[in-house]
């Protein structure tokens, strides 16, 4: 389990400033989309310097368990990074979702050139 937790930490550390990802997306990057609860367990005991505030649920919802202050502190940290929120209070995933590996490759997300 420690190896899985370490991999969760490594992926979480790569989430860019101003972007978020989901527990499920981290699980997919681990190679098993069914591990989203394990991702949550790992982040619950994560090192303090890890940007855990950038991980939200599949609907863009924040976590009451993020800190003793609840999801308000998570929202504040995300707002400070410029992460947009919907009117219902969830993160606007269409505007700031980070999918991981593919985005880290040079040219990823670039449109094909017409010849």
Please indicate, yes or no, if residue 52 is contained in any of the structural domains. yes
Please indicate, yes or no, if residue 38 is contained in any of the structural domains. yes
Please indicate, yes or no, if residue 113 is contained in any of the structural domains. no
Q: Are 84 and 95 in contact (CB under 8 A)?
A: yes
User: The domain spanning residue 77 has which CATH number?
Assistant: 1.10.10.10
* Residues with a known catalytic role: 52
What is the C-alpha separation between 16 and 48, in angstroms, rounded? 17
pLDDT at 66: 79
Q: Give the up-direction half-sphere exposure of residue 8: CA atoms within 13 A in the CB hemisphere.
A: 27
Residue 50 vs residues 8, 12, 64, 110: alpha-carbon distances, Å: 10, 7, 18, 29
The model's confidence at residue 103, banded by pLDDT at 50, 70 and 90, is low
Please indicate, yes or no, if residue 112 is contained in any of the structural domains. no
Domain count for the chain: 1
Please indicate, yes or no, if residue 107 is contained in any of the structural domains. no
What is the C-alpha separation between 42 and 47, in angstroms, rounded? 10
pTM for this entry: 0.85
Q: pLDDT tens, 11-67?
A: 999 999 999 999 999 999 999 999 999 999 999 989 999 999 999 999 999 988 877
């Amino acid at each position: 389990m420690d190896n899985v937790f370490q991999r969760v930490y490594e992926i979480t550390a790569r989430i860019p400033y101003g972007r978020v990802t989901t527990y499920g997306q981290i699980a997919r990057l681990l190679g098993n989309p069914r591990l989203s609860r394990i991702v949550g367990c790992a982040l619950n005991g994560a090192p303090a310097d890890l940007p855990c505030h950038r991980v939200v649920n599949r609907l863009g919802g924040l976590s009451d368990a993020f800190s003793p202050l609840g999801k308000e502190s998570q929202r504040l940290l995300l707002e400070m990074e410029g992460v947009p929120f919907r009117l219902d209070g969830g993160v606007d995933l269409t505007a700031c979702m980070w999918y991981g590996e593919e985005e880290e490759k040079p040219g990823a997300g670039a449109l094909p050139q017409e010849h």
